[in-house]
Each structure stands twice: as C-alpha cells, then as structure tokens.
Amino acid sequence: MVDTVRVYVNGVQVEVPRNAFVIDAVEKAGFRVPVLCYLEGLFEEATCRICVVLVNGRVVPSCRFPVSEEAKIVTEGDELTRYRRTNLELLLSTHRVKCWSCIRKSNCSLLEVSKQLGIEGLPVCSECPLIGDECLITKGEPCLGPLTVAGCSAECPRYGAPCVGCRGYLSDPRIWEDATVELYRKYRVDVKEIEATMKFFWSNLPERLREVVTKGGKP
C-alpha cells in the first residue's frame, strides 16, 4: 500500500503519496499553476518562483515543496498573482524580446505564461504566424507589429495587411532598437513610411522612442 497524505487544494480534498510535491497535488485536484523552470525529473530547483502557491498561508514554490498531512493549498489569489506577475516582469526585464525572429515562435512557455498573467510588453509579432521570408517587413511593408502591444491575435498581418499599431505602442526602447536594426533598416523600410503608418500615435510618442527609429536604432 502506498503511503498517502490528504491535502486540500482550494478546498478540494485529494490523496497524494507522502513524498509528492505540492504541484502533484494541485494537478491531481484538477487545478493548474503556471510554471516556467520546472521540468519534472530534469530540473526541480525552484528558481523561477512563478509557480508559487500558499500552503497553510505561507508562500512556497509548488514544484519543490513537499506535501504534508492536512495541508491547505491555495493556488489563486491577489497576493499570488502579484508575486507571479512581479517575477515574470523581472524575467522579461532581462529578456530581449525578439519574437519576430525567435525559433520557438508560439511554442513558448514564457509567452504562454505571460498571456495567462496578462503581462503587457509583448509585441504583436509574438502572435503573428508569419516569420522569415513570410514576414511583411521583409517585403518592405511598414508593418508596426514589432512595436505594438500584442493581444489582437495579429489579425491584420495574418491576412497580409501590415499592422497599423491600433493597440498602442510598446514602451520598452530595447524592443524598438532591435526592431529598427533587425527589421526596418535591414529590409530598407523607409522611416517616412513608418511615420505615416504610425499616424495614430506618432505625435504622442515619447521623444526617445521616436528618435530610435529616426536615428536608425541608436537612441
């Protein structure tokens, strides 16, 4: 007989083996927590701190925290969302977002978790199926995908129309730099054309972002 303990996940009672981790109990109870660094059996070092849950009121990483008898596990809540979001934002703060040329494209757990937690700051390219030669910018079109906040499922580029930035611009100058250097300049998209496409917000754009494009990637 396997030695089991009884735990409560968001009030749902489940029995799990004594040596299981909290995440196993959560999954068994039919809930999900976002995970990034955890790879069962390969990497269980609990370093990304995205999978945090409350066990008896204490914030712990579910992937590495052992279950205990009668433990009360809470997987959602304002506090937890705040920590998860903060940690994910911290991770993105060191990540150079280049979804337009990233080989993972939509098969990316960082994107997935970001969407789940509603993190802003990802470009439309992260949702656009076009990549490489298909990309509109490689054809010289002034698509604003790399500079625009994602969330529209990239409807326009998907059907061949360049993005006009209707969802607003990204405020991270690093993305602007990369996009200018790796796309606009490389495929010789005219600054005037970008400016014209950006008529929605060009006049409201912070000076430093506008300069990135006009100076060709060097703010």
Which residue, 97 or 128, has its beta carbon nearer to another protein? 97
Q: Kindly tell me which residue out of 5, 7, 25, 91 binds another protein, with binding defined by CB under 8 A.
A: 91
In Å, how far are 17, 71, 97, 134, 204 from 3, measured between CA atoms? 6, 16, 46, 56, 64
Asked if residue 198 binds another protein (CB under 8 A), the reply is no
The CA radius of gyration of the chain, in Å to the nearest whole number, is: 22
Both structure tokens of 210 = 């506008």
Which residue, 83 or 202, has its beta carbon nearer to another protein? 83
State in angstroms the smallest separation of the CB of 37 from another protein.
8
Burial of 46 (0-12, 13-18, 19+ CB in 10 A): middle
Asked if residue 93 binds another protein (CB under 8 A), the reply is yes
Which residue, 86 or 106, has its beta carbon nearer to another protein? 86
Strands (E), the chain: 4-9, 12-17, 52-55, 58-61, 72-74
Asked if residue 13 binds another protein (CB under 8 A), the reply is no
User: Residues near 154 by Cβ (< 8 Å), separated by ≥ 6?
Assistant: 124, 125, 127, 128, 129, 145, 163
Stretch that binds another protein, among 58-66, 119-127, 145-153, 155-163 (CB under 8 A): 58-66
Binding string, residues 59-88; x marks residues near another protein by CB under 8 A: x-x--xxx------------x--xx--xx-
Q: Which amino acid, one-letter code, is at 94?
A: T
Asked if residue 217 binds another protein (CB under 8 A), the reply is no
Asked if residue 39 binds another protein (CB under 8 A), the reply is no
Of 95, 156, 94, the residue nearest 125 (C-alpha): 156
Which residue, 13 or 47, has its beta carbon nearer to another protein? 47
Residues making contact with another protein (CB under 8 A): 45-50, 52, 59, 61, 64-66, 79, 82-83, 86-87, 90-91, 93-94
